[in-house]
Chains A and B, each alone.
Chain A
Amino acid sequence: MTSTTATAPPPALMRLSPDNWKLAILVGLIVSVIAAIALPASASFWIIGAMAAMIGAAFVVNAYRRKYYGGLLVAPAIAVLFVMNIFPLLWSLGLSFYAYQSNQQSIRFVGLANYIKVLTNDIAAPANWAALVNTAMFVVLTVTAQMIVGFLLAMMFAKQFPLRKYLLILVLTPMMLSVVASGVFFTYYYDPTFGILSYVVNAITGGQFILMSSKVGAVAGIVFADAWMWSPFVMLLVLAGLVSVPKYLYEAAAIDRVSKWRQFWTITFPYIRGLLMLALLFRTIEAFKLADLVILLTKGGNDTMTISYHLIRIANEQNKTSEGAAISYLMLFMVIVLTNLYLYIANRRSQGA
């Protein structure tokens, strides 16, 4: 690659030319602010959108004239990312500072009132905290269950045995099923009248067994269903790690008469640790968003309300858009902090090792 140094100098701020992105930003900002103040929201929205497009176009022309082809090639991806992700994200951040309900036409700036309500209101806050505590509980329980089961399954499938291929397909099936299908399956599985679980337990104990009638039972039911669906995912990742361990290391260890236990900790584990951490990260983030199974199995009853489901009810069903946005941002903040904390610990460990 040769760097092209013979590019035109950047245009002066006040020169009117299609590549003058500085001027475009300036004009865009001024026009947007005026439009936002002077015009009704329905008109200013489009004017601000047009200004954003104009600034984008100025950047593109600028990149083209100065031969920043790398930037140009990435531009479509950035544009899509901006339109589909960043813009809605910023939009909802903005909404969280207003009193706005999607089924009503009025909107009013309230500053941090939504956040204050979510965290301190004597009716809203306890519900949020309870849902958050439940979510934390589900994160710990479901992720632990999935990691253990997934890891054991992977250890099993790393070895060769008859029918391995078919069993593997069978074990992977739950992950590919739609959550709704599995959810409905499990509602019948746990049903005290039609379900096989109560049937078996009743036959043994002679009593009337109702799994979903207590918090412990309901949580166990949800955790089991979630682990059933997502353990194969952990297994796949761990299996990929196990397969990548070079055989000669084990052979060398065998010659040195290293015990199986030490072989595992000194050879196998270092190879799969990265993937285990990845699985843990993915599943933790997913578990934080758990709502589907709760909706299908308990509708949040027996104190199994999670923060995601709570959010769906507030934002989508009750149309309290701003309050929902505030909760989402608090949630997003927590997930980011947790993820970074986790990455920090993971990195320090791998450097120390």
Chain B
Amino acid sequence: MTVVTKMKGFAAAAGLAATLMTGGATYALAEEVTLTMAVPDWPPTRIMKKFFDEQYKPKSGNTVKLDVDFIPWPDFYTRVNASLTSGEQKYNFIVSDSQWLGAFVEGGYYRKINDLLDADPEFKKTLMSVHPAPLAAYSTYPYKSENYYGFPQFPDVLVNYGRKDILCHEEEQKNFQAKYGKKLPCTGEELDAMTWDDFKNVGEFFRRKKGEMLAGAPAEDDFYGIAFQAGKGYDFSSMQINGFIWQMGGNVWDETQAPTGQAEGVVNSPEAVAALEKYLSLLEYMPPVAKTGTMDIFKSDELFREGKVAMNIDWIGLGEASLDPKSSKVSDKLVFGQMPGTMGPDGKMIRWSNIGGQPFVLTTWTTPEQTTEAVEFVKWWLSNDIQHQFAAGGGQSAVKEVYEDPKYVTYRPWNRAWAPQLDWQKDVWHVPQFFELLTQQQDQFDLAITGKQDAKTTLDNIAKFQQDLLTNAGLIQ
């Protein structure tokens, strides 16, 4: 480099710096606020980001940017956990599974929002318009207390995915009626009315070998009646088993009763054992992968989309793929109903189920300016108009006015099961020890699912472990 070019370079750099500085100065009049957010990479969060970029106009006149990190689902917990515990303070918003609340509130990462709710009646009104069951699950720690933390991002429940072409086939209908003396459930309403015994019948009835007749044609491959989650990973059996336990009158360790609530005697109560036995008894009617402990929510969904089962219980969150002909062989043959229930002694259906979905939360290091903008953003997000658009685009809304609107059920075929299910949603523990509770429980359930031990031993082991851990943690006295 000669001296002259060096000089030219300096001049150019100085000029650039000057324009940047003056440009920056004029720009700074309308303040720029960036909100950084960690989210799992799937349609509900992609839609949120898209709506924000296209439609969000902050009232303050500031320029607000939403900087979103899309993280793949299998890595999500690990990445969020690592980010929070390392102290890098990177994110202002975090999409969080409801069970994580306690662990990260106690760690000092999630911001309590009661002061923001009290300061802004409109904000409070918006949040309180969310159905109480998901609100308690997504926002409160301790569970069902008055301490609020989160806002619904994608609320979710378990529903029954069915195949109309198989279930409504005349000959199958006739044979089912002859065998069980009951009508084979075929419409959404009939699916809603199913108990777990009906579900078992469907499983038994539709067990077909390759080449046997299925809905008027020889089956191309082995075919199975039913499927639901029975996987060892994350919470891929607890979320289903909890529903069985609650429906049949048992309970999990209830943190709202701490410190007097016990694990031993509750977790392994005779009702809970019967419920787990019921759950396990259904596995034999499912695709063989159920016996390996790897049939998680994604596997059963895949089996359903590939046309290997007649009914599958799964989260709504995975539903879009089954509607898309590109990823689903059954996209034009779908019928949806509520998850089966248990008939109570009074003849009324008991439908308790474990809530799914995620809230998003604010972090404690978010500055006041960012918080102000964040609150405006959340109010906008939970406004009826945006929630309607979100639901129409493939999301779900737990905001009462939105899901009670007659339009709501027309957005997606499973929406008919949404509102009635909301009342029956409960959540598992929000306590900081949730991950230890969950891993040990999943390990034990896996032993039962793969046939290594019976229901009683399984729940005894879980109860003993929980009693010990929670006593040490001071949550049981």
Contact = CB atoms under 8 A, between A and B. Distances in A.
B443 A213 contact: no
Interface of A: 102-105, 123, 187, 191-194, 198, 208, 210, 212-213, 218, 298-303, 313, 316-320
Interface string B436-477: 100100010010001110000000000001001000000000
B82 A316 contact: yes
Nearest to B292: A212
Contact of B232 (A193, A208, A300): A300
B294 A105 contact: no
Given A103-B81, A318-B436, A318-B439, A193 B222 contact: yes
Given A103-B432, A213-B450, 4 more contacts: A299-B231, A301-B446, A318-B439, A319-B435
Contacts of B107: 103-105
Contact of B81 (A104, A192, A317): A317
Nearest to A217: B292
Contacts of A301: 232, 292-294, 446, 450
B104 A103 contact: yes
B289 interface: yes
Q: Which of B103, B108, B450, B452 has the most CB of A within 10 A?
A: B450
A318 B435 contact: yes
Contacts of B289: 191-193, 210
A188 B209 CA distance: 21
Contact of A302 (B106, B108, B233, B293): B293
B82 to A, nearest CB: 7
Contact of A210 (B81, B231, B292, B436): B292
B446 A316 contact: no
B106 A298 contact: no
A299 B293 contact: yes
Given A123-B468, A319-B85, A103 B103 contact: yes
Q: Which of A105, A210, A299, A303 has the most CB of B within 10 A?
A: A299
Given A300-B232, A318-B435, A318-B439, A208 B288 contact: yes
B84 interface: yes
Contacts of B465: 123
B78 interface: yes
Given A103-B104, A193-B222, A316 B78 contact: yes
Smallest CB-CB A-B distances: 9 pairs? A301-B293, A192-B288, A102-B85, A103-B107, A212-B292, A299-B232, A301-B232, A213-B291, A299-B233
Contacts of A103: 81, 84-85, 103-104, 106-107, 109, 432
Contacts of B243: none
Interface string B105-149: 011110000000000000000000000000000000000000000
Contacts of A208: 288
B287 interface: yes
A187 B81 contact: no
A131 to B, nearest CB: 12
A317 B77 contact: yes
Nearest to B436: A318
Contacts of B303: 193
A210 B289 CA distance: 7
B164 interface: no
Contact of B106 (A104, A198, A210): A104
Interface residues of B, number: 39
Contact of B292 (A213, A317, A320): A213
18 contacts: A103-B84, A104-B106, A104-B432, A105-B107, A191-B289, A192-B292, A193-B288, A198-B288, A299-B232, A300-B232, A301-B232, A301-B446, A302-B293, A316-B82, A317-B81, A318-B435, A318-B436, A319-B435
Nearest to A122: B468
A104 B452 CA distance: 36
Interface string B269-307: 000000000000000000111011110000000010010
Contacts of A212: 292-294
A319 B221 CA distance: 45
A187 B294 CA distance: 9
A208 to B, nearest CB: 6
Q: Which of A102, A191, A208, A301 has the most CB of B within 10 A?
A: A301
Nearest to B84: A103
B308 interface: yes
Given A103-B84, A103-B103, A194-B306, A210 B443 contact: no
Contacts of B294: 187, 212, 298-299, 301
Contacts of A316: 78, 81-82
Contacts of B288: 192-193, 198, 208, 210, 213
A345 B86 CA distance: 43
Nearest to B461: A123
B122 to A, nearest CB: 34
Contacts of B443: 300
Contact of B450 (A123, A192, A302, A319): A302
Contacts of A300: 232, 443
A316 B303 CA distance: 31
Interface string B408-444: 0000000000000000000000001001100100010
Interface string B318-334: 00000000000000000
Q: Which of A104, A198, A213 has the most CB of B within 10 A?
A: A213
Nearest to A297: B294
Contact of B108 (A105, A187, A303): A105
A57 to B, nearest CB: 28
Contacts of A302: 292-293, 450
Interface string B57-98: 000000000000000000001100110111000000000000
Contacts of A319: 81, 85, 103, 435
Nearest to B77: A317
Contacts of B231: 299
B282 to A, nearest CB: 17
Interface in B27-59: none
A192 B435 contact: no
A3 to B, nearest CB: 42
B253 to A, nearest CB: 16
Nearest to B442: A299
Q: Which of B288, B292, B443 has the most CB of A within 10 A?
A: B292
Contacts of A320: 436
Contacts of A105: 107-108
Interface in B171-219: none
A104 B451 CA distance: 38
Nearest to A206: B209
A212 B299 CA distance: 15
A105 B87 CA distance: 11
A320 B469 CA distance: 13
Nearest to A302: B450
A316 B293 CA distance: 22
